[in-house]
Chain A
Amino acid sequence: MTDTTPATAKIRPPRSQWWDVWDQFKTHKGALVGLSIFVLILLAITIGPFLWDMAPTYVDLRARNKGFSAAHPLGTDQLGRDVLARMMAGGKVSISVGLTAMMLSIMLGTTIGVLAGYFRRLEGPLMRLTDLFLALPLLPLLLLMVTLFREPLSKSFGPERGIFLLIVFAIGATSWMQTARIVRGEVLGLKEREFVLAARSIGTPARRMILRHVLPNVLSPIMVSATLGIASAIITESALSFLGLGFPPDFPTWGRLLYDAVDQMQLYPWRVILPGVAISLTVLSVNYIGDGLRDALDPRIRGR
């Protein structure tokens, strides 16, 4: 948030603002635990498949519904597919969909919220647009998008990447409205504060006002909605796959694993618990990281 970088500040000890943020972040125990869990999950889904190289879609009919064993550390599903391999493959898809869709929706939501809150002239049209999107029935809209764009996208990007782009875009484009409304409200309040008035009186241009004074102060609601956004993106993706609008059926994602296992919940509870816990852990850890980041980014708390 300042332009001081270690290279230019030779007189002072080489210390950027981000070191202060990190120091503050370290004091938040929950955030540290969250960060380490999130890194663990990321490592598991990126490096894991190299260590455990069983194909997640390989059907082994002789090993159906097996419990935990050396051959299958997390057992097998109703078709004898290795659950560990499926969890890792599913995590890769779910987390990348969650993160990408969240970023898209936060970017859209923040931009529209800040613009609507800061510029009075834009407020009317932008907020009506938000209302319009809120009123749109989500499922028919997604159905339409998938019907229209699935084939051309699959053709130009391949079936998996095409669907990935489509789903990320579909989720991102239909979940930014809450963020936009929250951010607009915060910005409206900030605009009336003395420091903004002071900044304006010395002739700060709008672009700088937004980037230096407004955005850092609305960071916490954005962080909160971002962490919640990941969770809802993962769940929305699974709902879409469930309706046949998402990834091809042999493509594991956490949401699909969860849905597929619900039928046999009483017989094989682990198959529901594992993806469920994975989704919850991801969401919780991201949530705590967001919490810690918000505290660390707030200069009023820092150093206390």
Chain B
Amino acid sequence: MKLRTALLGAAATLAFAPAAFAERGTDGDVKILYSQAVSTMNAYLSSGTKDVEVGSLVLEPLAGFNEKGEVIPRLVTEIPSLENGGIAEDLKSITWKLTPGLKWSDGTPVTAHDAVFTAQYCMDPAGGCAQLARYEGIEKVEALDDLTVKISYTEPKPNPFTAFVGATSPILQKAQFEKCLGAAASTCTDANFKPIGTGPFRVVEFRTNDTVQLEANPEYRDPAKPAFATALVKGGGDATSAARAVMETGEFDYAWNTQISPEVQEQMLAGGKGQFVSGFGTLVERIEMNMTDPSPDLPEGERATAKHPHPILSDIRVRTALSKAIDREILVEIGYGAAGRATCNLVPAPEIFASDNTGCLTQDVEGAKALLEEAGWTDSDGDGIRDKDGKKLSLLYQTSVNAIRQDFQAIIKQWWNDIGVEVELKSVDGSVFFGGDAGSPDTFQKFYADVEMYANNFDGTDPEPYLAQYTCDKAPTPESQWQGENVNRFCDPEYDKLLAELVRTRGIEERAVIAKKLNDMLTKDSMVVVPLVDRGRLSAHSNTLGGVVLNTWDSELWNASDWYRIK
């Protein structure tokens, strides 16, 4: 409810926006607080989100993502596609056309050679570029003329929107960075701290790990933007104090990543100086069911492998009953507040890939009990725990150490107790749980438990690699040193076949249909993965700052040029 009112408020303020930012630099100063301080403005030299995002105020890519995960043009006239010929039929090249007349903040023109140089800068083997993954598979980048860039790939690339797209791969000015290639990259402190860019702001003063003082870029392509004449980005502190600086004291206009507990959120909202905005990406907190038997009585090497199917959870009725017993809305309310929403999908976003699967959202305790009865699990000895053939319906439920996860464990344990399932809880230190050490019995891959809970997401906007994690051959086994993403040991030839089809399919609509079907096969059709909460980003902005739209696919400051002061 609160989220909706916040969004409505944002929409309403947006409607009045045009009147508010009629001219550049009329709205004074905007103060932004990052709880992690900025150490460089050059996204290629840091994998820290804070550096990439603050850098995006100055440096821009050719195209970015909007809040729905769609590609939007920034420095180009249109987004290349198969239809307009920008993407070659064989998917091996993509051609970008720059908007004519663009200028760097020093007044010199932006050309295709800058883009070519940027690719050369990041792909230099001696440079240690932090964003090299975005330039993967590139054969060459060339300038066909001053305004046309062509990227050729060695292999067909179904998703070519990696290089020069998004805040992690901005265009650098060739003239400024020419001498900073390779090993010299980190020695160019002046260029890295005060890059010349095309973004709405330019750096006036840069204090490492402290503050960045910026002013409006006089050469910005939209003469009416940005509305703010100056901007200050301050770093340091923690999420709670950052939220407080916006919500209670009003010292700052915007605070980045203010993940705090729902109770504290509510208390701060009462301050009346600001509001929280949330954006939802692909991070889903879920319960994974073990399809293999993790019993310690089995010999090492056979324990938790496909040789021994799980004695209880192999039955889909049990898995469905466990999912039905959970009230996801309450979990959201207790754990995340505005920063979460209940979901039944493994792939909850981008919108086009999200299945309309909402069947799990209503808790159905009676239905769960009926399903267990039907599966033959009855409480024959009257001790409140169901049993079948002398075996108790008892599960070991593990997760990593985290205050919210332990709360979830306690609540879900009670819900499962209510339907007659005995639950033993276990929490493992996060560095061990996610450590992937094949020698430790407590990793999430080894999965020496019946059910486990954690969160995972995928990078970018295409879910194919993510869905590919659940094929038969990705199951962790002793032979693979317990590496592999298919921790449930889910194995369905139909799924593998459909995934192969997804890999072959082009065209986003057709891909979306298949991806949704794959998502449903894992969730509502098999209940092997039981999604609980879609965890979003939560940031805070002052009531007087307008135009904020939180974006989880690109920099949070992606539309800072549209921000304005509400008077």
A71 at the interface (CB under 8 A from B): no
Stretch of A10-18, A112-120, A197-205, A244-252 with 4 or more beta carbons under 8 angstroms from chain B: A244-252
Which range contains the number of A residues in contact with the other chain? 20 to 34
Assess the B407–A264 pair: CB atoms within 8 A: no
What residues on A are CB-neighbors of B261 within 8 Å?
263-264
What residues on B are CB-neighbors of A65 within 8 Å?
263
Closest chain B residue, CB of each to CB of A262: B403
Given contacts A61-B411, A78-B407, A249-B406, contact A267 B425 (CB under 8 A): no
What residues on A are CB-neighbors of B267 within 8 Å?
266-267
Given contacts A78-B407, A250-B413, contact A244 B400 (CB under 8 A): yes
Assess the A243–B429 pair: CB atoms within 8 A: yes
Whole-angstrom distance between the Cβ of B418 and the nearest chain A Cβ? 10
0 or 1 for each of B400-413: is its CB under 8 Å from A? (1 = yes): 11010011011101
Closest chain B residue, CB of each to CB of A246: B427
| B264, B296, B410, B426 interface centre (most CB from chain A within 10 Å) | B410
Q: Which of A152-190 contact B (CB under 8 A)?
A: 155, 159
Bound-state Cα–Cα, A249 to B429, Å: 12
| B403, B409, B440 interface centre (most CB from chain A within 10 Å) | B403
Bound-state Cα–Cα, A172 to B135, Å: 55
B162 at the interface (CB under 8 A from A): no
A79 at the interface (CB under 8 A from B): yes
Assess the B296–A155 pair: CB atoms within 8 A: yes
B414 at the interface (CB under 8 A from A): yes
A151 at the interface (CB under 8 A from B): yes
Q: Which of B330, B403, B409 contacts A250 (CB 8 A)?
A: B409
Given contacts A79-B411, A250-B409, contact A245 B429 (CB under 8 A): yes
Bound-state Cα–Cα, A133 to B553, Å: 51
Interface size on B, residues (CB 8 A): 27
B180 at the interface (CB under 8 A from A): no
What residues on A are CB-neighbors of B425 within 8 Å?
248-250
A20 at the interface (CB under 8 A from B): no
Assess the B330–A244 pair: CB atoms within 8 A: no
What residues on B are CB-neighbors of A143 within 8 Å?
429, 432
B521 at the interface (CB under 8 A from A): no
Bound-state Cα–Cα, A59 to B408, Å: 11
Whole-angstrom distance between the Cβ of A259 and the nearest chain B Cβ? 8
A46 at the interface (CB under 8 A from B): no
What residues on A are CB-neighbors of B406 within 8 Å?
249-250, 260
Closest chain A residue, CB of each to CB of B267: A267
Q: Which of B334, B424, B429, B441 contacts A151 (CB 8 A)?
A: B441
0 or 1 for each of A253-279: is its CB under 8 Å from B? (1 = yes): 000000010011011000000000000
Whole-angstrom distance between the Cβ of A105 and the nearest chain B Cβ? 24
Closest chain B residue, CB of each to CB of A261: B403
B428 at the interface (CB under 8 A from A): yes
Assess the B441–A79 pair: CB atoms within 8 A: no
What residues on B are CB-neighbors of A159 within 8 Å?
424
Assess the A243–B401 pair: CB atoms within 8 A: yes
Whole-angstrom distance between the Cβ of B278 and the nearest chain A Cβ? 20
Q: Which of B264, B424, B429, B441 contacts A267 (CB 8 A)?
A: B264
Assess the B411–A249 pair: CB atoms within 8 A: no
B442 at the interface (CB under 8 A from A): yes
0 or 1 for each of B299-332: is its CB under 8 Å from A? (1 = yes): 0000000000000000000000000000000100
What residues on A are CB-neighbors of B429 within 8 Å?
143, 243-245
A5 at the interface (CB under 8 A from B): no
What residues on A are CB-neighbors of B330 within 8 Å?
61
What residues on B are CB-neighbors of A27 within 8 Å?
none
What residues on A are CB-neighbors of B414 within 8 Å?
57-59
Assess the B426–A250 pair: CB atoms within 8 A: no
Bound-state Cα–Cα, A107 to B332, Å: 50
Other A-B contacts than A57-B414, A59-B414, 17 sampled, CB-CB below 8 A, are A58-B414, A59-B410, A61-B334, A64-B334, A78-B334, A78-B407, A143-B432, A155-B296, A159-B424, A244-B401, A248-B426, A249-B406, A249-B425, A249-B427, A260-B406, A264-B264, A267-B264
Q: List residues of A whose CB falls within 8 A of some B CB.
A: 57-59, 61, 64-65, 78-79, 81, 143, 147, 151, 155, 159, 242-245, 248-250, 260, 263-264, 266-267
Q: List 18 A-B contacts (CB under 8 A).
A: A58-B414, A59-B411, A61-B330, A61-B411, A78-B263, A79-B410, A143-B429, A147-B440, A151-B296, A243-B401, A244-B427, A248-B424, A248-B427, A249-B409, A250-B413, A263-B261, A264-B264, A266-B264
- The 5 A-B pairs with the shortest beta carbon distances in the complex, nearest first, are A244-B401, A244-B427, A249-B406, A59-B414, A249-B427
